[in-house]
Amino acid sequence: MLCAKRAQLHAEGLSLSCQDEWFARPGITDLRKLIRDVPDFPQPGILFKDITPLLAEPAGLALSIELMAQPFRGRDIDAVVGAESRGFIFGTALANALSVGFIPIRKPGKLPWRTRKQEYSLEYGTDKFEVHEDALLAGQNVLLVDDVLATGGTLEACCRLIRGLGANVYAISVLIELSALAGREKVREYQVHSVLRY
């Protein structure tokens, strides 16, 4: 199944430059069917995009990873960075797909070594992130990965942590972008690749 999907994607000439054409393709439609809308979670007024049905479907998960990784194959990526917790799911898979290491960004108190900290805003509150101060080398090119680009606060904080260590944010890859929340504006200086837009 995955090999057939990869062959189909290659035959259709998918690349970052034709990203907007992806949204009308059959595989993308299939992925949308695996995203469940949960109203009023985690608080009233929030429509939560639940990815757990997609994660449980082997073909859907494999296609998601392929579509998130494909534009960055053969690029000068030194590491993938993902934020706790759903960024770990996709980040480790993309790191494996791109044959690079994975760097976790975690909530406070979860990392055992000396850390850098960054506060960020969510669509429903604030929180903090930490990363080991020796996690990245100066000048390394990083692909930042998460499941959703919503208000952009999470990814903006991650970008600040990465740059604070002297590394470069090569690009950002997400499965879902909630366009109405305009999160792309907070990370507009970076290349952003989203597989699904709502």
Tokens encoding 103: 């760097």
Cβ partners under 8 Å of residue 141, min gap 6: 76, 77, 78, 79, 167, 168, 170
- 6, 25, 86, 106: which one is catalytic? 86
Confirm whether 6 is a catalytic residue. Answer: no
Tokens encoding 185: 């504006």
Cα 66 → chain centroid? 13
- 57, 84, 123, 133: which one is catalytic? 123
Confirm whether 197 is a catalytic residue. Answer: no
Residue with the two structure tokens 């208000």: 151
Report, as residue numbers or ranges, the catalytic residues: 86, 123
